[in-house]
Amino acid sequence: MGSFATALEELTLVVFTTLAPAGVCACVIVAVAAMWGTADDAERARLQHMCSIPLFLSMVGLVMSSTHLGTPTNALYVVDGIGRSPLSNEVAACVLFMGSSGMFWLYSFALAPRAPLQKAWTIANAVLGVVCVVSIALAYNSPTILTWSTPFTPLSVCLEAMAGGPLLALLVFRASTVRFSDVVERRLITAGFACFVASVVLLVAQYAHLHTLASGVVSAVALVPGYPAVLLAYVVGGAVAYGLTVRHVASGLFPKLPSFLSGAEGLGSKLAWSIVANALFMVVLFAVRFCFYMMHLTYGIGF
């Protein structure tokens, strides 16, 4: 129960690392697609308005993680640590990205938004988004925690973001009723699924590496006895989420698939299935992130 209680105490951070990286990735994808895609002015405005969906999810994660500060006055220590503390850098990067993206979203409601300004702003937000995800990934590569101080930690966060981001971006496309070319959506789904497969391989390698780690009182693998089952759930849940996306959300894009995986669906059902696919992926990703906090093991004699 010790490792489970440890993860339970960090529940808000589990939510943060589940929602925020994928939400940031989706925000960048949607913003870039809106400004450099084939959408006209009206469609571009709808896309930018609907970007509130991933932005809201990211902000929910950030707000929940802020409860970890204890009291608002501790935020001053966060500011003081910018540049030398990975945790402070993480918070600063998240606040900068979400603040800039929030202002960009508000500007999209202007009666006559300037396209050159929006394009420059989109590039800046894309850079801030990359910095934000990388900062989140590096914040947990703590040298004092032997189970986290590995290349698996930052790489898995980045890959999970790039696996969940495309699913969220497709949800925004459907909610905004903007239709992109088959090539664009096919590449988006393919890239997201490739990142999902890579994240699975990385998590399996991480679990194998846990067998080589131990403190003075416990082995690392003993902290997460249910990890193989969670990995299996992640594999199945992620595969089903992308399967639902191919079958119901982006039907017709992969004509060489068997007939039971292709077909046409109405717009309303596509949006509903996109919500289901995203919810399923986030649930199994949450389980993986929860296990990550369960494997918290220092070099001392305790957890």
HEC sequence for the chain: CHHHHHHHHCHHHHHHHHHHHHHHHHHHHHHHHHHHCCCCHHHHHHHHHHCHHHHHHHHHHHHHHHHHHCCHHHHHHHHHCCCCCHHHHHHHHHHHHHHHHHHHHHHCCCCCCCHHHHHHHHHHHHHHHHHHHHHHHHHCCCCCECCCCCCHHHHHHHHHHHHHHHHHHHHHHHHHCCCCCHHHHHHHHHHHHHHHHHHHHHHHHHHHHHCCCECCCCEHHHHCCCHHHHHHHHHHHHHHHHHHHHHHHCCCCCCCCCHHHCCCCCHHHHHHHHHHHHHHHHHHHHHHHHHHHHCCCECCCCC
> Is residue 183 pLDDT above 70, yes or no?
yes
Residue 302: inside a domain, yes or no?
no
How many domains, the chain?
Answer: 1
Q: How deeply is 229 buried, as exposed, middle or buried, from its count of CB atoms within 10 A (0-12, 13-18, 19+)?
A: exposed
Range of the domain at 276: 2-294
> Is residue 165 pLDDT above 70, yes or no?
yes
Residue 214: inside a domain, yes or no?
yes
Pair of tokens at residue 101: 């993206």
**Angle formed by the axes of helices 52-66 and 11-36, to 10°?**
150
Averaged pLDDT for residues 11-28: 94
* CATH code for position 240: 1.20.1630.10
At residue 247, the pLDDT reads 81
> Is residue 81 pLDDT above 80, yes or no?
no
pLDDT in tens, 213-257: 887 778 889 999 999 999 999 999 999 999 988 887 766 655 554
pTM, entire model? 0.89
Residue 90: inside a domain, yes or no?
yes
Residue 213: inside a domain, yes or no?
yes
Least confident piece of the model among 83-92, 150-159, 245-254: 245-254
Residue 301: inside a domain, yes or no?
no
What residue type is 277 in one-letter code? A
Least confident piece of the model among 10-24, 53-67, 126-140: 53-67
At residue 68, the pLDDT reads 64
Residue 300: inside a domain, yes or no?
no
Per the CB < 8 A criterion, the answer to whether 200 and 275 are in contact is no
260 band by pLDDT with thresholds 50, 70 and 90: very low
102 band by pLDDT with thresholds 50, 70 and 90: very high
Q: Please state, rounded to an integer, the average pLDDT across all residues of the chain.
A: 86
296 band by pLDDT with thresholds 50, 70 and 90: confident
Residue 79: inside a domain, yes or no?
yes
